[in-house]
Amino acid sequence: MDQDQVKKIVEQLHLERKIPKEKVFGILEEAMMIAAKRHAGQESEIAVHIDRDTCAISVFRDNVPLSDAEITERLGAQTARQVITQKIRDAEKDMIFERYNEDLNNLISGTVRRVERGVVIISLQENIEAILPRSEQIPGESFREGNRVTAQIIEVNKNGNNARIRIVLSRNRPSFLRKLLEQEIPEIADGIITIKELSRDPGHRAKVAVACTDPHLDLVGACVGSRGSRIRAVREELPNNEQIDIIPWVADDAEFIKSALQPAEILEVIPCPLLGRAIVLVDKEERSKAIGRKGQNVRLATRLCGWDLEILTQEELQSVLDTAVDQFKSIPGMTDEAAEAIVAAGLTTYDDIALSDPAELAELGKFSEEDAQKIIDEAERRAELDTALQASETAAAAAEEAVRAADEARRTVAADVPHAERCARDARDAAARAREAASEAAKSAEMVDSAQVAEAAQAAQTSAALAARAADTARALVDSARDDDRHRGQSFSRNA
């Protein structure tokens, strides 16, 4: 390999494959060194240097320079070519890794190349492939070959020299929506508007809390854009016309919670910092709006604010408070004044007391920490008893449902096998609910040493066993009927 060949290789790789010239020189020097070592023996100390200006090759063996004839003799062209080829591939992988790793968490666009078992393979620039796993897709969206897709880079891996670069994308994370907003709203990209919090139900709805350093700027208007142009551009990147609520962020927790629960009208917010919970008072007519379809509105608001929100009407709140005071008064060592003070602080269930810090509870109730700990222990026992009793009732109701379904299957199986089969499925589902309730009761029995809790757990277990037997009976009846039908069909076929 002479100077002209070296110069040609360097220029070609730099222009065609975008590999920096210094990197190419390093690859050639390493390849020549390996080739020379294989010829001269591994025990020899070989050094190769290529002049960056003239491309002249200098080779040293044990610190002794070799002549041009010796260089030509000792540098195996085939070996050097193989090493160069492999090193170039490695260099290209390194460049791809560095390029996309620098863009980690940023947005990138590509074209759908194919879909394999729900995983979308996306072609990026220069035929680089990335994957959009099913778990990172927005529920309900579909992809076809050739579709243009924008996604967020969430992972860039280079595992081993021979492995391909693995680039993983996402479209369903809150950070994807955050990046879309930054892309479409210059004030966010410039830092004038800050996204303080963001919660999202991908494909359905999102709530974005924003703050602004400029008091004269129309915060919501800047995010929405003229006639909704900016927010519309963001929504066009999302399937199902995902709704995006822009909410001004305020430092006051109660006011922020009110804004987060829009479009519902909120009467009052009562924060309980001890539990990280807030009671939200609404009119009866606003309750369903505050909760939202399938609880979506309150769920997104809870994530946005970081408070556990409980939606109640004034009448419901009064009932909760009265019940809590009556229950707490019955705890040994609890005074009427202490019970009212604890409820006023937002603790309304035995679970709330059981999770309290003894020092904080003692301060609220004006009693010693030792007495507070006894009250906490009793509250925990009562909380687990309530859980076990409720689970026992749930298991008993499920067992009754399973027995009814099994009886219906027995009554109708001879005349209507498909109906009996539906009854058998109902019995099976009821048995599953009974087992789940029994498991919940058993956990409560493990938590506290209480004969009442153990008795409730045993009752739940008995109900679950009854439900399982009913479901098995129904299934056996249907299976037997199906076998009889097949047997009759085969006999008819033989006779024909």
Q: What is the CATH number of the domain that holds 286?
A: 3.30.300.20
Q: Which pLDDT score is estimated for 32?
A: 78
- Among 172, 205, 223, the domain-final residue is 172
In this prediction, residues 149-172 reach a mean pLDDT of 84
Instruction: Give the pLDDT band (50/70/90) at residue 42.
Output: low
In this prediction, residues 30-51 reach a mean pLDDT of 74
Same domain, 270 and 254: yes
- pLDDT over threshold 90, residue 157: no
- Among 172, 193, 210, the domain-final residue is 172
How far apart, in Å, are the Cα atoms of 23 and each of 14, 59, 89, 183?
A: 9, 19, 12, 35
Integer Cα distance of 66 and 51 in angstroms: 15
Phi-psi region of 131 (alpha: psi -120 to 50; beta: other; left: phi over 0): beta
- Among 266, 298, 315, the domain-final residue is 315
CATH of the domain at 134: 2.40.50.140
Instruction: Please check whether residue 205 is in contact with residue 243, taking contact to mean a CB–CB distance below 8 angstroms.
Output: yes
Integer Cα distance of 442 and 455 in angstroms: 10
CATH of the domain at 35: 3.30.1480.10
In this prediction, residues 344-366 reach a mean pLDDT of 91
Backbone angles phi, psi at 198, to 5 degrees: -150, 130
Integer Cα distance of 201 and 255 in angstroms: 23
Same domain, 223 and 303: yes
Same domain, 331 and 463: yes
Long-range pairs for 108-114 at CB < 8 Å and ≥24 separation?
Answer: 108/150, 108/151, 108/152, 108/153, 108/169, 109/148, 109/149, 109/150, 109/151, 110/148, 110/149, 110/151, 111/146, 111/147, 111/148, 111/149, 112/143, 112/144, 112/145, 112/146, 112/147, 112/149, 113/145, 114/145
Q: Which pLDDT score is estimated for 457?
A: 94
- pLDDT over threshold 50, residue 494: no
Backbone angles phi, psi at 353, to 5 degrees: -70, -40
pLDDT digits (tens, 9 = 90+) for 368-418: 999 999 999 999 999 999 999 999 999 999 999 999 999 999 999 888 889
Highest-confidence segment of 21-30, 134-143, 396-405, 481-490: 396-405
Structure tokens, 142: 């579909």
Same domain, 331 and 441: yes
Burial class (CB in 10 A: 0-12, 13-18, 19+), 158: middle
* Closest of 149, 96, 141 to residue 121, by C-alpha: 149
Sheet of strand 205-212: strand arrangement: 193-201, 205-212, 243-248
Query: What global pTM score does this model have?
Result: 0.69
Enclosing domain of residue 328? 322-496
Same domain, 334 and 482: yes
Same domain, 124 and 70: no
Same domain, 269 and 374: no
Same domain, 10 and 152: no
Same domain, 368 and 493: yes
- Secondary structure string (H, E, C) spanning 445-494: HHHCCCHHHHHHHHHHHHHHHHHHHHHHHHHHHHHHHHHHHHHHHHHHHH
Same domain, 285 and 352: no
Same domain, 135 and 183: no
Q: Which pLDDT score is estimated for 35?
A: 73
Q: Which pLDDT score is estimated for 69?
A: 62
Task: Spell out the residues 6+ positions from residue 5 whose beta carbon is closer than 8 angstroms to its own.
Answer: none
Domain total in the chain: 4
Same domain, 182 and 296: yes
Instruction: Please check whether residue 395 is in contact with residue 437, taking contact to mean a CB–CB distance below 8 angstroms.
Output: yes
